[in-house]
Structure 1
Amino acid sequence: MLSLAPSIDAKQTTTTEVSTDSVVINQQKQKPSHDDYDSTNHIFKSKLPDIPISNHLPLHTYCFQKLPEISDRPCLIVASTGKTYTYAETYLQCRKIAAGLSKLGIQKGDVIMILLQNSAEFVLSFLAASMIGAVATTANPFYTSAEIFKQIAVSKTKLIITQAMYVDKLKQNEEKYESIDFKIITIDEPPVNCLHFSVISEANEDQLPEVEFDPEDAVALPFSSGTTGLPKGVILTHKSLTTSVAQQVDGENPNLYLTTEDVLLCVLPLFHIFSLNSVLLCALRAGSAVLIMHKFEIGTLLGLIQKHKVTVAMVVPPLVLALAKNPSVAEFDLSSIRLVLSGAAPLGKELEETLHNRIPQAVLGQ
């Protein structure tokens, strides 16, 4: 026989007894028993150690916080030329460019646009803008003129750093957007009415103005395609980016175990937040080297991995496909790679296994 105990007032914490000839089961109604459960806010605290987050610091200060220890370590490696910037050289160049931007009238809160493929100038300009409290909006140089001007208009850009080949796109809609006034700087030979990058890169770093920073100040304005309509600007503060980077590389149990011995592949475009955040900023915080490629070509990529002994590769599925399927991969030594992280879209199990067979020593993540 199965008998149920009479029901009792629901407001009381009680025992419901279910009995059979041989079994009695007691089910106690309880609140979560997790030791670190915050019943007021209904939050479970992680069993992992807390991460010390220096989100009171400006982004550039946070990224270069280990500078005294790593000043002579390689920071930026330009794939196309082989030029290497140490951390000390990178920091100094950022200060010069920041002073140069200030001399051109860029102030705290002003927006500059970086309309470049991956390059040292992209990195230096982004960090320099942070140093004077300016905001960097990153744009795809392969956008149409109309798309670029919409971003210029929405972001209220006051200065654009680009290459000469893209300047025509900035001239095509001048009449439509004649009320928008901005300066143009090119990193190569400047067309008429444009300035050369040396105007800012050779400025006196001692003239860098003192700026008061609030962690909630904006530092970056990337544009996301979102789900509908035109791309939308996403305001990122110093606090939000330092917090994001800290969650990835700081603490006793970081998501990314990056060290000063690591060399990170930076072939994904820096105007996308994945590459900007998880490759560049995380590498700078950890004191790793960043190998900057301005475009993807499989043969060149493989040669660079072998030459510079790349240890960490942040990739997307099409690049994984090339690494997994291209027969030329077998001609190169990729044994230095210890970690491959794929983002943007999921990898199929078959593709993941094929890549693992090519570089069996590497940990694969997505």
Structure 2
Amino acid sequence: MAFRQQETLSLTKKTDQDFIFRSKLPDISIPNHLPLAEYVFQKFSGDGDGDSTTTCLIDSATGRTFTYANVQITLRRIAAGLHRLGIRHGDTVMLLLPNSPEFALSFLAAVYLGAVSTSANPLFTQTEIAKQAKASAAKMIITKPCYVHKLTNLQQLGAVIVCVDDRNDVVSLADGSVRFTDLTQADEAELPKPEISPDDTVSIPYSSGTTGLPKGVMISHKGLVTSIAQKVDGENPNLNFTRDDVIICFLPMFHTFTHSSLMLSAMRTGAALLILPRFELNLVMKMVQKYKVTVVPMAPPVVLAFVKSPETEKYDLSSVRMMLSGSATLKKELEDAVRLKLPNAIFGQSYGMTEAGTVANSLAFAKHPFKTKSGSCGTVIRNAEMKVVDTITGASLLRNKAGEICIRGHQLMKGYLNDPEATARTIDKDGWLHTGDIGFVDDDDEIFIVDRLKELIKFKGYQVAPAELEALLIFHPYIEDAAVVAMTDEVADEVPVAFVVRSEGSQLTEDDIKNYVNKQVVHYKRIKMVFFVKAIPKSASGKLLRKVLRAKL
């Protein structure tokens, strides 16, 4: 550890500019010259040590299983089917699907063909779907019959609609739609071998839009290969998935975290992915018990539901060896509560963003793990550089100083689709991506996220982090959920106000909550008003939609 610090300090002195943080793990050789599909299944070809007869995908809804051999054959057939329908290298295919094997197979088929995938929440409105489809120039939309009514305008504009069959293999096709099963029966021999460059765009996810309008994020084959390898490759992988693991997937597959950290990372390592169509706590625990799940990835709202539910005692969850929280940062108090529920499982956090891939990962998940701290989102990912900068001056900060986190490496996005100005605001001329997250690195290289830069509440010049107050509120015994946002104030500029979901039967009052919080914080962090609501609005990935709450003020 001392050597790592000395090495970094000498670099800082040499450049006289930046104090750069790197992983405790050594850099590794990453084959990011390979196309994504070839890289993901590299162990199952040539001299690889993968066993193609092992299970790759499990559909919890139907009991269907796909071996690694099945998946590779099927994705090539689907790619041939896409090609037959006119999809070529660089064309965009939209996935408007719930969690399912068909989502994974469609994504992989587009990847193999050299096409571009963009995925959207199937619960989006017709207008939201149309905006993303038009912005990404989607030529095809793969969906379920129940969502086709949202696509009539796009179909009229020439988009090909492909419908996935339901469980009974009966589907009512809209005029002009194509059956997904027709793609799976295409002849792969008809597919010419695609020529794919590492810099070709492979995916265009859309940023959450929680602090602005959604933007298409262009991710290359090179970027996604790098992001996966940073986690699961090397003699001591940062995220030690193995071929013996069963990884449960109930987080939305259209989200980048699920794509990279779960689906593709699982396939790269030869693990089995158990797919649930949605999150239902009792269903999740039932599936954990039935399939002896070993890895449970979560988002903070799921962690909260798990901690507060008495139902957890009814199921055998002893097979779980790893619980990974991602998509949004998790506070120390929640992390400690999970450990009490599952004392034999390793628990830690991952931190990343759509534009940057995984930025940090807990080293508790490494094959040869490190001791970690509650509340930390890990250490910077290997084969990347990180710095923390002052939000006003831009100066690089040393350890234990909070500022904006910046990351640099081959895993970063190429840029925002058709938006060079937004790209330039996010990635500077030296290649540093500015995350908009406020955090610090402690003496042990662990990263702690304080808040979002744009969500900090400014009270008479003081900065108030909503997440700090939310952590206090959520652990009140009669509060089910809570969120804190800024409200404009003539005197203070902004003041913190809370939206609270009371526990069932609770008679908690506004004064009760104010007294509970205000006695634990400095004067400028005190809650000024409390609004009681039935639910806290959140995105599909579990992030608080503060802009929705601010609109109520």
SS in 1 for 2:231: helix
Mapped pair 1:60 → 2:37: yes
Q: Which has the larger radius of gyration?
A: 1
Structure 1 residue 360: Cα displacement: 0.7
Mapped pair 1:34 → 2:10: no
User: Paired residue for 2:141, among 160, 164, 179?
Assistant: 160
The alignment's TM-score, normalised by the length of structure 1, stands at 0.86
- Tell me which amino acid in the other structure corresponds to 1:166: Y
- Give a deviation string over 1:186-233, Cα, whole Å, max 9, x none: 002122321110121110122221111110001111111245442110
Work out the percentage of aligned pairs sharing the same amino acid: 49
Q: Distance in 1 between matches of 2:21 and 2:251?
A: 36
Q: Distance in 2 between matches of 1:36 and 1:352?
A: 32
Q: Distance in 2 between matches of 1:46 and 1:349?
A: 22
Deviates more, 1:351-360 or 1:95-104: 351-360
Q: Distance in 1 between matches of 2:257 and 2:44?
A: 24
Q: Distance in 1 between matches of 2:256 and 2:21?
A: 29
What pairs with 1:110-189 in structure 2 (closer than 5 Å)? 110-171=91-152, 173=153, 180-188=157-165, 189=171
Compared with structure 1, are the counterparts of its residues 36 and 61 closer, same or farther at alpha carbon in structure 2 (3 Å cutoff)?
Answer: farther
Compared with structure 1, are the counterparts of its residues 228 and 347 closer, same or farther at alpha carbon in structure 2 (3 Å cutoff)?
Answer: closer
Compared with structure 1, are the counterparts of its residues 35 and 344 closer, same or farther at alpha carbon in structure 2 (3 Å cutoff)?
Answer: closer
SS in 2 for 1:224: coil
Mapped pair 1:237 → 2:253: no
8 Å CA contact 1:222–1:272 kept in 2: the answer is yes
Compared with structure 1, are the counterparts of its residues 251 and 169 closer, same or farther at alpha carbon in structure 2 (3 Å cutoff)?
Answer: same
Deviates more, 1:197-206 or 1:85-94: 197-206
Structure 1 residue 346: Cα displacement: 2.7
Number of residue pairs aligned between Structure 1 and Structure 2: 331
The aligned counterpart of 2:346 is 363
Compared with structure 1, are the counterparts of its residues 195 and 339 closer, same or farther at alpha carbon in structure 2 (3 Å cutoff)?
Answer: same
SS in 1 for 2:248: strand
The aligned counterpart of 2:72 is 91
Q: Distance in 1 between matches of 2:133 and 2:8?
A: 51
Mapped pair 1:48 → 2:25: yes
Q: Distance in 1 between matches of 2:21 and 2:260?
A: 27
Mapped pair 1:210 → 2:218: no
- Tell me which amino acid in the other structure corresponds to 2:186: A
The aligned counterpart of 2:324 is 341
Mapped pair 1:219 → 2:196: no
Q: Distance in 2 between matches of 1:51 and 1:239?
A: 15
The aligned counterpart of 1:77 is 58
Structure 1 residue 352: Cα displacement: 2.0
- Tell me which amino acid in the other structure corresponds to 2:299: V
Mapped pair 1:299 → 2:253: no
Q: Distance in 2 between matches of 1:214 and 1:325?
A: 48
User: Paired residue for 1:320, among 287, 298, 303?
Assistant: 303
Q: Distance in 1 between matches of 2:203 and 2:215?
A: 13
The aligned counterpart of 1:286 is 269
Structure 1 residue 33: Cα displacement: 5.1
Structure 1 residue 92: Cα displacement: 0.5
The aligned counterpart of 1:17 is none
Aligned residues: CA RMSD: 1.9
Structure 1 residue 350: Cα displacement: 3.0
Structure 1 residue 44: Cα displacement: 7.1
SS in 1 for 2:7: coil
Compared with structure 1, are the counterparts of its residues 78 and 35 closer, same or farther at alpha carbon in structure 2 (3 Å cutoff)?
Answer: closer
Q: Distance in 2 between matches of 1:135 and 1:35?
A: 39
8 Å CA contact 1:49–1:253 kept in 2: the answer is no
The alignment's TM-score, normalised by the length of structure 2, stands at 0.58
- Tell me which amino acid in the other structure corresponds to 1:295: R
Structure 1 residue 34: Cα displacement: 2.5
- Give a deviation string over 1:302-358, Cα, whole Å, max 9, x none: 110011111111101111122222112111110111111112233233322222121
8 Å CA contact 1:95–1:205 kept in 2: the answer is yes
Segments of 4+ moved more than 3 angstroms: 35-48, 226-229
Deviates more, 1:201-210 or 1:339-348: 339-348
Q: Distance in 2 between matches of 1:341 and 1:44?
A: 23
- Give a deviation string over 1:33-76, Cα, whole Å, max 9, x none: 52895546976775633212110000000000011422011100
- Give a deviation string over 1:111-138, Cα, whole Å, max 9, x none: 0000001110000010000111000000
Compared with structure 1, are the counterparts of its residues 238 and 335 closer, same or farther at alpha carbon in structure 2 (3 Å cutoff)?
Answer: same
Q: Distance in 1 between matches of 2:333 and 2:206?
A: 33
Structure 1 residue 255: Cα displacement: 1.7
The aligned counterpart of 2:529 is none
Deviates more, 1:93-102 or 1:247-256: 247-256
8 Å CA contact 1:34–1:44 kept in 2: the answer is no
Q: Distance in 2 between matches of 1:94 and 1:87?
A: 11
Question: Which consecutive residues of structure 2, in runs of 5 or more, have no partner in the other structure?
Answer: 166-170, 350-553
User: Paired residue for 1:269, among 227, 252, 265?
Assistant: 252
Q: Distance in 2 between matches of 1:47 and 1:315?
A: 25
- Give a deviation string over 1:155-198, Cα, whole Å, max 9, x none: 10001100000001112x45xx95x3210010021223211101
